[in-house]
Structure 1
């Protein structure tokens, strides 16, 4: 069995179709079919259940796929590490962030990264935190921006920046507020929040619980942009991270007095990553960038 066999196995498992998988693998469909059959014969295991329209993994194939993907990631890490010895500042980096951060963070930092690391190509992924951490561990992203606290013995991290939460109301909200609110001002209020799975929702719920506020169950948003539009339409109030503050005349943003609620963002990567030192350098550069802003 060869490394190529494992690649074919993983591609077919993903595509679930010999024609599509053969295009992805860069071989003819008959050649791919022959290699998979040879692999099954060598292992003595049926990896796929076949029909005229598609192929699906057998129960045995499901178990073996996880191990095959692990081997493929290790080989990729091996090759990456070898390239790093030649020039650690070439190649590509895939950076991830969660949806309430990615659209606001990446436009701020991507030019800085290109200037500091001109020979590197940067690609970005936006996913919810749980998915992002899974992708990070599977090697599908090289590093990810995650809200603290987060503990994982397989990951290293560096703090990057913190940002305040703002209280957002419609501009014509009937109640007058001071320029800076105390957290006690949240008491008894209903706040519009994000859907399940967003770490910013969890942070907002914690603030609501501590300060006797509650969620507005009539509405949940899938994004911060939707939340802002709902506030602008006069349908309620919410919390917004400072990075998402806009210049809309229809929304009034208010700061909280100290100690103000905030979130802390760190860059995480696998401890085994051959790019670990580069991530530490990137973290240093970004900390300096946010100190200046």
Structure 2
């Protein structure tokens, strides 16, 4: 029988591929650079192939090296899933759980849900990482996360499954009292694309908002964009344009202290879908389903959310009127 590479060797190879530097890969793996180099040479000897071309300044993976890394990621992830299967069978929702969350969800969905989790599952240690969707999905595939709270639709890579939780409606947000103070919903075809401010490229919320309104990215204001929803609301309050914000953000207080108006659309507003993403091979699927129930039952996702946003849609967030 041919000799097989070890999981540790594959982990070192993955680390080198991610860092593209022997020193950083060794540091990330908590070993010396000489140990990393020796391990990879042994791996190449075992496989009888060159995976990495080396010189003093550069690391270049061969074509077969790149292909091996892809399979190595799957093997390491499946090995981790095997260990988790046994651990969760003994004690579900205990121990460590690594959850990724995108920035347009984290500040608004987490507070009440985490409070509920602490009460219902006191032995669960939730490690959170806030990052963009593509980074969260990459970390999922690399088995660095157990699940990620993301927004759909999104072009998911192979090997990722989702558990939809709820629809998060978009509201029109403006500083203009003529547009914002009307009690009736706003016809969605009344939006002027060139006046629409959105998050910068890379945030899925930007693409969701554009697609939801039937617009094209080039139609929107690309000169001005924001890196966060807080910055976006400040830009709108300064009179630079209008925006679309998700309902959970408004219910979570993103407009608190501002004089902005939030107004619903007609017909019923466009929405994104909040969902858990996870590896199809994960052994923690049942735990993720239970976590989904907690997120759905927590205060932030009940009917109170819709009631609160409905009130805010009928009046400005601050009593002083719109900022001009």
TM-score range, shorter chain: 0.7 to 0.9
RMSD: 2.9
Tell me if structure 2 keeps the 8 A contact 1:181–1:255.
yes
Matches of 1:75 and 1:104, distance apart in 2:
34
Return the offset for 1:230.
0.5
Return the offset for 1:174.
5.9
Alignment of 1:120-269 (within 5 A): 120-149=124-153, 154-170=159-175, 173=177, 177-184=181-188, 186-188=190-192, 190-209=195-214, 215-245=220-250, 246-256=255-265, 259-269=268-278
Cα deviation per residue 1:102-142 (whole Å; 9 max; x = unaligned)? 23222332222222221121122333334433433443322
Cα deviation per residue 1:31-72 (whole Å; 9 max; x = unaligned)? 433332232233222222222245332333222222222211
Tell me if structure 1 keeps the 8 A contact 2:199–2:225.
yes
1:11 to 9, 15, 28: 15
Matches of 1:188 and 1:39, distance apart in 2:
59
Matches of 1:36 and 1:71, distance apart in 2:
17
Return the offset for 1:274.
0.9
Alignment of 1:16-35 (within 5 A): 16-35=20-39
Tell me if structure 2 keeps the 8 A contact 1:186–1:208.
no
Cα 1:203/1:20, change in 2 over 3 Å: closer
- Answer 1 or 2: which has greater strand percent: 1
Work out whether 1:81 is the aligned partner of 2:85. yes
Cα 1:73/1:194, change in 2 over 3 Å: same
Cα 1:31/1:200, change in 2 over 3 Å: closer
Cα 1:143/1:21, change in 2 over 3 Å: closer
Matches of 1:219 and 1:38, distance apart in 2:
52
Aligned length: 289
> What's the secondary structure of 1:229's corresponding residue?
helix
Structure 1-normalised TM-score?
0.83
Matches of 1:267 and 1:63, distance apart in 2:
28
Return the offset for 1:87.
1.6
Cα deviation per residue 1:11-35 (whole Å; 9 max; x = unaligned)? 3333444444444444444343333
Return the offset for 1:150.
5.8
Structure 2-normalised TM-score?
0.76
More moved, 90-99 vs 129-138: 129-138
Tell me if structure 2 keeps the 8 A contact 1:97–1:144.
yes
Tell me if structure 2 keeps the 8 A contact 1:173–1:234.
no
1:291 to 302, 310, 317: 302
Tell me if structure 1 keeps the 8 A contact 2:113–2:294.
no
Matches of 1:137 and 1:22, distance apart in 2:
21
**2:70 aligned partner:** 66
Q: Which runs of 5+ in 2 are unaligned?
A: 305-324
**2:52 aligned partner:** 48
